[in-house]
Structure 1
């Protein structure tokens, strides 16, 4: 996987860096105290080489907003680093072999690390490809399967499953799977092995170096 662009929010003096495109070598130029070092410190913690990489809100969250933020930190932690990775052709092929060709809208993964030091990563998925692929994975009762004809979105499929009175194990399994995808995204399946690709965090290390005038 190739790291394409990155964004830092809510970190020290940085409210929101906006998206920054990255190459194999990227040079940051700016005035003293403009946030260059803070930006590098934040992105290094996405997948650190030589440190624990834990974000500490008390020390790193923008001070002027920290008092208000700490009241919701436990239940609604703010994002710090968001990165977009580009899948290789081989990684796309692994996903499409498990589902169908065209399952991904784009060959990208977005990864977010928040102030609870949790990672969230997901894909942009084509529902019109995903829905029939999910239905085909299960041996559903005829009437139930026919009731799904014409469904094009995962929301519609979830609604139909909730309305269904069918009690077969296959229907229950499909319902549970759809709800998990709705709650956690397609990455929930890929991360736990239904379809395997390299985890973007474990497969990509990041090394940063800052040169400063002394």
Structure 2
């Protein structure tokens, strides 16, 4: 599709789409010395505000040739200064994290006019942690983890349905075990930026960075 054709497909003038943010601000005197309590408070407020999928985060990894790759995953835990999510270890993101165990994530809560960006090192969770979370999932989701060879081509939806039926029959009424190829990752927070929309595009941006185990904080220009 060339540029002129693309322009005809879009019904609205994208350049004219904009919002004037007015719902809040970040005062320096309200900032904690460490960022995780503030992140937890913002996440709680997103949940209380009934933001759709408040724990959804864009996860960026790096391909073997150094290109960025991003997708949405769900935050499933906060432990200390780490974030936890779960996936198929043989997926594209799993392959990429195996080679480059670092990632960036971002949260966007439009109802609150807030964004959070985080970067850090990534490690696999323990088998015990994987089992604990896997057994808390609905049985349908457990079966789905066994069925999906995530990121691999599939002939059609019927093929997935047939595989799901076979897996369901295999386990019957027994407990569904955690697949060896499925589990969690933790992202150790090394850098986190809080963004609050402000009028006139004079947004608040607060950046925390951890060096040698100690946190520093600075305000960034919008």
TM-score (norm 2): 0.25
More strand by share: 2
TM-score (norm 1): 0.26
